[in-house]
């Protein structure tokens, strides 16, 4: 059972956007998906409450502030949305379960430094050997200097950059209805699905 964790110590970098869409991708393939929300803000759980009954089902996973339990039987794929400042026992519990980690980062100097520290911590943790880590650039405008700085930074990390996602209101509008890119007609989100293709291939590998 693959467990995909979306993690970055910086808040507001797009973790919930990635988590919900990864869950939506797995659900679109017919998997029994459970979306866990270890963030106190419970953004992913709120999103699940907005999800229409007629689209592919994604189960919620009760993850209390004090305990992260194993997912129930029948689950085939797990996605975990994590809080900013993930550390300590919660970090250990999440990483113990994780198979793959997606680290979102934005073209901001603050995000870059916070992400560097987090990735260094992952590399030095006892879980480093078992984890597959992929980076995803969020809200990237290729025409900006900030975007160039982000690309220069990730080139120094020695980790795969899965893709760069553009800044678009599609994610905002879909999230407000409990939907993902994979729940609507492909023609409506063609550019975004093309950017997601490398993520999907990495998830399936």
Structure confidence by residue, pLDDT tens digits, 32-81: 999 987 766 677 888 999 999 999 999 987 665 555 556 777 889 999 99
Quick check: 74 and 86 in contact, CB under 8 A?
A: no
Q: Between helices 109-123 and 145-155, what is the axis angle to 10°?
A: 10
The pLDDT, as a whole number, for residue 63 is 62
For residues 171 and 67, what is the distance between their CA atoms, to the nearest angstrom? 30
Quick check: 181 and 193 in contact, CB under 8 A?
A: yes
Quick check: 56 and 28 in contact, CB under 8 A?
A: yes
197 token code pair: 């293709």
The pLDDT, as a whole number, for residue 40 is 65
For residues 197 and 20, what is the distance between their CA atoms, to the nearest angstrom? 16
Q: Which residue matches tokens 């797990």?
A: 78
Q: Residue 58 is part of a domain; what is its CATH number?
A: 3.40.50.300
The pLDDT, as a whole number, for residue 67 is 52
Domain region containing 24: 3-204
Spell out the residues 6+ positions from residue 101 whose beta carbon is closer than 8 angstroms to its own: 4, 5, 6, 7, 95, 122, 131, 132, 133, 134
| DSSP H or E stretch at residue 79 | strand 77-81
- Tell me the backbone φ, ψ of residue 84, rounded to 5 degrees: -65, 150
Other Cβ atoms less than 10 A from the Cβ of 54: the count is 6
The pLDDT, as a whole number, for residue 192 is 98
How many domains would you assign to the chain?
A: 1
The pLDDT, as a whole number, for residue 142 is 78
Q: Could you say which residues of the chain have pLDDT below 50?
A: none
Q: Which 8-state DSSP code applies to residue 105?
A: E
* 3-state class (DSSP) for residue 3: strand
112 token code pair: 């870059």
Q: What region, left, alpha or beta, does residue 30 occupy, with left being phi > 0 and alpha being psi -120 to 50 degrees?
A: left
């Amino acid at each position: 059972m693959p467990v995909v964790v979306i993690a970055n110590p910086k808040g507001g970098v797009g973790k919930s956007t990635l988590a919900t869409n990864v869950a939506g991708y797995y659900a679109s393939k017919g998997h029994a998906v459970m979306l866990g929300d270890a963030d106190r803000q419970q953004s992913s759980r709120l999103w699940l409450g907005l999800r229409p009954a007629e689209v592919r089902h994604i189960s919620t996973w009760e993850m209390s502030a004090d305990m992260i339990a194993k997912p129930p039987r029948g689950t085939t794929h797990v996605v975990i949305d994590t809080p900013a400042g993930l550390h300590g026992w919660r970090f250990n519990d999440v990483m113990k379960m994780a198979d793959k980690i997606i680290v979102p980062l934005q073209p901001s100097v603050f995000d870059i430094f916070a992400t560097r520290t987090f990735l260094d911590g992952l590399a030095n943790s006892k879980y480093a050997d078992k984890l597959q880590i992929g980076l995803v650039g969020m809200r990237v405008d290729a025409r900006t200097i900030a975007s160039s700085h982000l690309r220069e930074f990730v080139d120094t990390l020695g980790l795969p950059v899965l893709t760069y996602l553009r800044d678009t209101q599609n994610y905002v509008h879909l999230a407000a209805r409990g939907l993902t890119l994979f729940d609507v007609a492909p023609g409506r989100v063609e550019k975004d699905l093309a950017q997601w293709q490398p993520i999907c291939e990495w998830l399936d590998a």
